[in-house]
Structure 1
């Protein structure tokens, strides 16, 4: 494989590994928010922002950590036939299906950018009592989709190299 592809795979994997490992700790932040919410409901006045903030943290965890999960092959796979195939057949099927994923992520990224522009232009807020701005979560959404797209392309390059008998990992 060309050096530029090797560098691409190396740096995308490195960035997604770092971001994914940092994102893992968001579960503790969410637990802290929910614990604080429970404490406040029990011993003081309830806070309006806690449930929605916990949801935002969970969405961030899911979207930002998705590319790391893909890199580590941690996604759930429909394994009806897959486990019985040869490594070459698995790699060919992975190449085909990842092209569908890249197409899907491209459309998702386009829609996410449009949605983020809308939120910025019109000052979109959540329809809750807290009414936070939707801009930060939409920026996180676009970032997560973009990282996932970069990782999907990296995985495609790795599969193509595997078919050629090379390794990019």
Structure 2
């Protein structure tokens, strides 16, 4: 399998974070043809590009049986690559032992040849020395020491020759295995690539056919128009107040919705990371770092949205049974702790951001992503949180004065 060397450029990373949520927000609100829920050709191509290796475009168009063809081929790639990695590790270990064994043989063979001549000379010295003399005893000790050294060299030489013969066979076998599984993985990848190319050509026809099938279905929901927002966004938008606080609520709502679509980016990036790592044996040095930094910014900027929709974790055992007026009073009295926290977050975030901008701080990894935008996200998140806190405090005073919730969605 070919290796992937793609590294996400910094400019593309920031463009993706800025542009993708806008496109997603527009797509979430756009109308459908005739008010019906129809498949989208651009979205089908988008799924083809990001998930074509798994046949996800076929599943998107409800072409289940054809989609299932991609899965065993993709599994074959994973299976082949796993065996390929095992064979590569075995080959590497065997090749290392072969290298060491050859070095041992090259070193010990001349040493043994020299030792034979040295032994003959030492034996002559022992025979020539006077019996019982110190010279004879010293010569005998040198002879014994040389014999032990020779025996040790012969043992190492025999072991090296045995290892060389054994590991050369293992290296040859594992090399053949590695080439075999490389071919299997390549064939499976080529088959998937061919299917993806064919589907890319057929996709307009497939989308039209899927839409005709939808129109023909006698469904209870057929013909019902889609709302501008759906699901959790519809429920959360009901918490937006009227008056001047409504502007702050809408700012919190739309900023939260904007960064929420970053989670979709993470799905595609981690999908690429898994494919690059396990299909092409090319793990990235940017996917994990880029995503956890992105999620850090999302966590900070979403704080105001979570406050607007009352999604923060809190203990309601005493708070929930209270009347709207008493809830408002409790919120007013405890708001001082909130503003202390948000103010400290704003000040410390400002210090961190200014310092990071001044020295142009970058990450310590090979990717070297600039850090100052992430530090400024602390400031933005704290500022939005303080604004939402002000709006919430004004609404609490309004509720305390009237005895009625200022926003029906928060009742």
Regarding TM over 0.5, the answer is: yes
Could you tell me which residue of structure 1 aligns to residue 81 of structure 2? Answer: none
Among 87, 94, 117, which residue is 2:324 paired with? 87
Query: Which segment drifts farther, 130-139 or 78-87?
Result: 78-87
For 1:69, the equivalent position in structure 2 comes to 306
Residue 123 of structure 1 aligns with which residue? 360
Aligned twin of 1:18: 254
Alignment length (residue pairs):
164
Contact kept? 1:33, 1:53, Cα under 8 Å: no
Larger Rg: 2
State the alpha-carbon separation in 2 of the partners of residues 128 and 17 from structure 1.
Answer: 34
Distance of 1:142 and 1:33 partners within structure 2: 27
Q: What is residue 384 of structure 2 aligned with on the other side? A: 147
Q: Is the 8 A contact 1:12 1:150 kept in 2?
A: yes
Partner residue of 1:96 out of 333, 345, 363? 333
Superposition map of 1:28-67 within 5 A: 28-44=264-280, 45-67=282-304
Write the distance in 1 (CA, Å) between the matches of 2:379 and 2:405. 30
Distance in structure 2 (CA, Å) of the matches to 1:10 and 1:86: 23
> Is structure 2 residue 348 aligned with structure 1 residue 105?
no
Given that 1:6 and 1:168 are in contact with CA atoms closer than 8 Å, whether structure 2 keeps it comes out as no
Higher relative contact order (Cα pairs below 8 Å, separated by 6+ residues):
1
Cα contact 1:102–1:153 (8 A) shared by 2: no
> What SS does structure 1 have at the residue aligned with 2:320?
helix
Q: 1:37 to 1:83 in 2, by over 3 A?
A: same
Q: CA deviation at 1:29?
A: 1.0
| Structure 1 stretches of at least 4 aligned residues deviating more than 6 Å after TM superposition | none
CA distance in 1, matches of 2:398, 2:388: 15
Q: CA deviation at 1:147?
A: 0.7
Alpha-carbon separation, structure 2, partners of 1:147 and 1:49: 29
Mapped to 2, the partners of 1:56 and 1:83 lie a distance apart of 36
Q: Which runs of 5+ in 1 are unaligned?
A: none
Matched-pair contact (CA < 8 Å) for 2:324–2:405? no
Contact kept, 8 Å, 2:324 with 2:399, in 1: the verdict is no
Contact 2:339 2:389 survives alignment (8 Å): yes
Cα displacement string for residues 75-105 of structure 1 (whole angstroms, at most 9, x for unaligned residues): 1211232123333222111112222111211
Quote the Cα distance in structure 2 between the aligned partners of 1:55 and 1:96.
36
Gaps of 5+ in 2: 1-241
